């Protein structure tokens, strides 16, 4: 499989490494980006293993809750520019969209677009909005959550990050505080038990490679790997992270003090996973091809 400029670009964004370094890694990995990242991390070439989900689109995240607080709807609606995302007509449209999505109780965007608001389909309203604003407007995704136990807490940071957290108790303030924490720190899992075994094994493999040439005794190396793995797991799990409002305690200790558990959480950020065009990258590739 040949290495393309798009692959090089993606690897650069995810690792922070130089273009030629990324190209060499892709060639060595037979154009497998994930393998290239692993090998670059093992060798220390990657400056950062950035998470995928690059924010590229503009728009807003909207949240609607049912009267009893047991059902939550979260929707992402995109525009091309931040300027359009602040337009009063656009924001009125987003309010109607999230209300309709909550009424339907479905996570199907197609079903939402086919439904009607004031006698017109949402798709017709969207099309008219595009003509008025002059930008492409998209309803990108919908998340529907229901609580069988406890309550939901939700939080929107600005307009671009929305979080919903379900805790096992009726402590709404705790749930909201945790939603703020998730918005700020973005954990990937609730607790260590939720991290897939293959995920842990892959990270341990990388850690072993990083200390392989340390020259330290095997028992010391094992302790080093164990310590780094525990730190890694604490960083990606909600329970293991220091609580943002009180970094002296972990989220797990906070929950124990409240006799509560987190049952689920969902974080939605505008534009994550959508790649934004960078006009100067093509020129950079051309310059490299010319040997400049």
Q: For residues 124 and 121, what is the distance between their CA atoms, to the nearest angstrom?
A: 5
Tell me: pLDDT of 285 over 70. Answer: no
β-pair partners for 77: 60, 139
User: 90, 112, 146: which is the final residue of a domain?
Assistant: 146
Q: Is residue 67 part of a domain?
A: yes
What is the value of pTM for the model shown?
0.72
Residue 224 in domain: no
- Residue 157 lies inside a defined structural domain of this protein: no
Residues 6 or more apart whose Cβ sits within 8 Å of residue 82? 58
CATH number of the domain residue 291 falls in: 1.10.8.10
Decide: 226 and 208 in contact? Cβ < 8 Å: no
249 or 226, greater pLDDT = 249
179 part of a folded domain: no
Would the pLDDT of 226 be above 50?
yes
How many C-beta atoms lie closer than 10 Å to residue 183's C-beta? 22
Residue 15 lies in a domain: yes
pLDDT band at residue 17 under the 50/70/90 scheme: low
Average pLDDT of every residue of the chain: 85
DSSP bridge partners of 167: 151, 262
Q: Are 34 and 253 a contacting pair, CB within 8 Å?
A: no
Instruction: Indicate the number of domains in the chain.
Output: 2
Domain end among 84, 116, 146: 146
Which of the pair, 225 or 265, is modelled with greater confidence?
265
Same domain for 141 and 83, yes or no, is yes
Q: pLDDT tens digits, residue range 25-64?
A: 899 999 898 888 888 777 655 443 333 333 337 999 999 9
Q: Confidence class of residue 2 from pLDDT cuts 50, 70 and 90?
A: confident
pLDDT by residue (tens digit) across 184-219? 999 999 999 999 999 888 888 888 888 777 777 777
Q: Per-residue pLDDT for 245 more than 70?
A: yes
Task: Out of 121, 146, 171, pick the residue that ends a domain.
Answer: 146
CA distance 233 to 207: 13
Residue 114 sits in the same domain as residue 130: yes
Is 190 domain-assigned? no
CA separation (Å) from 259 to 89, 171, 212, 214? 45, 10, 43, 44
Question: 181 near 244, Cβ under 8 Å?
Answer: yes
pLDDT at 53: 33
Decide if 20 is inside a domain. Answer: yes
Tell me 69's DSSP state: S
For residue 281, give its domain range.
1-52+275-292
Strand intervals (E) in the chain: 58-65, 71-79, 116-117, 120-121, 138-146, 151-157, 161-167, 242-243, 246-250, 262-269
> What are 106-148's pLDDT values in tens digits?
999 999 999 999 999 998 898 888 878 877 888 999 999 999 8
């Amino acid at each position: 499989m040949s290495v393309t400029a798009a692959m090089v670009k993606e690897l650069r964004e995810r690792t922070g490494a130089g273009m030629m370094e990324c190209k060499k890694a892709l060639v060595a990995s037979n154009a497998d980006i994930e393998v290239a990242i692993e090998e670059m991390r093992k060798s220390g070439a990657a400056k950062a293993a950035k998470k995928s989900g690059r924010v590229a689109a503009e728009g807003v995240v909207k949240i609607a809750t049912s009267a009893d607080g047991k059902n939550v709807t979260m929707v992402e609606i995109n525009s091309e520019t931040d300027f359009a995302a602040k337009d009063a007509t656009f924001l009125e449209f987003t309010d109607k969209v999230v209300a309709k999505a909550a009424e339907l109780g479905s996570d199907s965007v197609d079903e939402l677009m086919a439904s009607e608001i004031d006698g017109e389909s949402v798709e017709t309203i969207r099309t008219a909005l595009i003509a008025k604003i002059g930008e492409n407007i998209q309803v990108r995704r919908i998340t529907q959550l229901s609580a069988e136990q406890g309550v939901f807490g939700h939080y929107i940071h600005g307009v671009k990050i929305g979080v919903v957290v379900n805790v096992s108790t009726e402590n709404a303030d705790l749930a909201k505080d945790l939603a703020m924490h998730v918005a700020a720190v973005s954990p990937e899992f609730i607790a260590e038990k939720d991290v897939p075994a293959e995920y842990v094994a892959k990270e341990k493999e990388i850690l072993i490679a990083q200390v392989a040439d340390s020259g330290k005794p095997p028992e010391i190396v094992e302790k080093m790997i164990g310590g780094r793995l525990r730190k890694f797991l604490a960083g990606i799990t909600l329970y293991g992270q220091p609580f943002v409002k009180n970094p002296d305690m972990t989220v797990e200790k906070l929950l124990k003090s409240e006799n509560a558990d987190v049952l689920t959480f969902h974080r939605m950020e505008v534009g994550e996973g959508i790649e934004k065009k960078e006009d100067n990258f093509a020129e950079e590739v051309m310059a490299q091809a010319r040997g400049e």
